[in-house]
Amino acid sequence: MSQRAYLPVLGIVNALGGDADTVAAALFAGDTSGMLLEEHWLPSGPARVGRARGALPALPARFAAYDCRNNRLLLAALAQIEATVDAMLGRYGRARVGSVLGTSTSGIAEGEAALAAYRATGTLPDGYRYTQQGIGMPAVFLARYLGLRGPAYTVSTACTSSAKAFASARELLRHDFCDAVLVGGVDSLCRLTINGFTALESTTTSLSNPMSRNRRGINIGEGAALFLLTRDEAAVELLGIGESSDAHHISAPHPAGSGAEAAMRAALADAGLTDSAVDYLNLHATATPRNDEMESRAVARVFPQGVAASGTKPLTGHTLGAAGATELAFCWLALRDGRLPPHLWDGVVDPELPCLDLIGGERHFARSRGRVCMSNSFAFGGSNASLLIGDAR
């Protein structure tokens, strides 16, 4: 049985657009128009957020207990690949297809609204169900929506959630629990996370400015990215996965980036590749002082010859539990279209950081075959994950 895994299709929605082609066009153009300054998120004033574009599908009435913006985002992504999913279900059967998703908010916004109603009236709204906001619910909802009988579970490890979902999904294939797995991530905007990151002094109302001397923090975003992972050969292959946990601090990364470095090196080792094989690196690049410092130092050690790199969160906001899948999707789109995502910042170099090859303007892959992309995701508690995808070998 093949140990290789492929990513034939992608469904995606975020502040850049509501389908893969629209997202790709806005991504490579460096379009930040989806980053909105909105009131009502914070008691102290507005917040800049990356709001997903386009109308979201309604859930059928029989799934009312799962109805939340998070699951609607998920269905918007699924709709783009549903024909391929249906064909896979017909080929392998519903017992052989699994669902592994990452999230950190799930339907917490619906829980916030229910709590506000309870405080005002003394009762919860008639339509509220805890299944709308349960952290473990996205993968369960997707499985029930499609009638899947394979394994279905949700990974929630903060900002590495949907990156780590790929490790779990690949294991389901390798140990023959599944023939295909729906894998990705979804997160929706809610006051809990925006206020929480603001309390940590990690947000900014201006557009995030990764790797700049003037970086001041992140913008929070929402979105969904959903792949089908299968052994059937396709143009894009999942080449390597690296995970680590440095457990340095509950909310601060290890200052030297030791955990980040370990994850990147583990991904390269898993793929059987050297650093020189990587053509593009999607940085975690939150534009917070400590994250960018540690990541730049780790990248400089892992890639001493340099690597074309960009941080794409100024285009979407930090989509938290969906960030790993979303930014891997940007790598997938880069391979599909032959273009590299730009790095949006003010260009003011921080002399305290190693100099990285940040992509300015339009740039393409230097080669047409054997291309490889890496995507980094780092999270609270020292959770780190790096993913490698590339042209099928």
Catalytic-role residue among 318, 331, 343, 373: 318
Q: Tokens for 19, please give them.
A: 């389908």
Note whether 79 and 164 are same-domain residues: yes
User: Tokens 């949006």 label which residue?
Assistant: 344
Query: What is the spatial distance between Cα 18 and Cα 77, in angstroms, rounded to a whole number?
Result: 8
HEC assignment per residue over 196-263: HHHHCCCECCCCCCCCECCCCCECEECEEEEEEEECCCCCEEEEEEEEEECCCCCCCCCCCCHHHHHH
Note whether 250 and 342 are same-domain residues: yes
The answer to whether residue 159 is catalytic is: yes
The answer to whether residue 331 is catalytic is: no
Q: What is the pLDDT of residue 382?
A: 86
247: left (phi over 0), alpha (psi -120 to 50) or beta: left
The answer to whether residue 248 is catalytic is: no
Q: Kindly list the averaged pLDDT for each block of 10 residues, start to end, along the chain of length 393.
A: 91 98 98 97 96 94 97 98 97 98 97 96 95 97 98 97 98 98 98 96 97 98 98 98 88 85 98 98 97 97 98 98 98 98 98 97 95 96 95 96
Note whether 90 and 216 are same-domain residues: yes
The strands making up 45-50's β-sheet, listed across from edge to edge, are 35-42, 45-50, 220-221
Q: Are 229 and 242 in contact (CB under 8 A)?
A: no
Q: Domain total for the chain? A: 2
DSSP state of 122: S
Q: From residue 92, how far is each of 167, 170, 172, 230, 325 by CA, in Å? A: 22, 17, 14, 11, 25
Cα angle vertex 181, ends 177, 183, to 5°? 135
Note whether 155 and 279 are same-domain residues: no
Catalytic-role residue among 68, 178, 190, 284: 284
Q: How many residues does the chain have?
A: 393
Return the closest-CA partner of residue 390 out of 285, 301, 272, 305.
Answer: 272
Query: What is the spatial distance between Cα 318 and Cα 220, in angstroms, rounded to a whole number?
Result: 5
Q: Are 226 and 382 in contact (CB under 8 A)?
A: no
Note whether 73 and 133 are same-domain residues: yes
**CATH code for the domain of 305:** 3.40.47.10
Note whether 225 and 301 are same-domain residues: no
In 272-307, which positions are buried (b, 16+ CB within 10 angstroms) versus exposed (e)? Answer: ebebebbbbbbbbbbbbbbbbbbbbbbbbbbbeeeb
Note whether 138 and 225 are same-domain residues: yes
Q: Tokens for 123, please give them.
A: 């009762």
Q: Are 135 and 64 in contact (CB under 8 A)?
A: no
Note whether 113 and 211 are same-domain residues: yes
Query: What is the spatial distance between Cα 343 and Cα 361, in angstroms, rounded to a whole number?
Result: 8
3-class secondary structure, 94: helix
Catalytic-role residue among 159, 178, 331, 373: 159
DSSP state of 96: G
Verdict on whether the full-model pTM lies above 0.75: yes
User: Tokens 């053509």 label which residue?
Assistant: 279
Domain boundary among 186, 211, 230: 230
Domain boundary among 183, 208, 230: 230
In 139-166, which positions are buried (b, 16+ CB within 10 angstroms) versus exposed (e)? Answer: bbbbbebbebebbbbbbbbbbbbbbbbb
Domain boundary among 204, 230, 256: 230
Q: What is the pLDDT of residue 1?
A: 61
Note whether 250 and 369 are same-domain residues: yes
The boundaries of the domain holding residue 345 are: 236-391
Residue 379's identity, in one-letter code, is A
Note whether 218 and 252 are same-domain residues: no
Note whether 211 and 252 are same-domain residues: no
Note whether 253 and 210 are same-domain residues: no
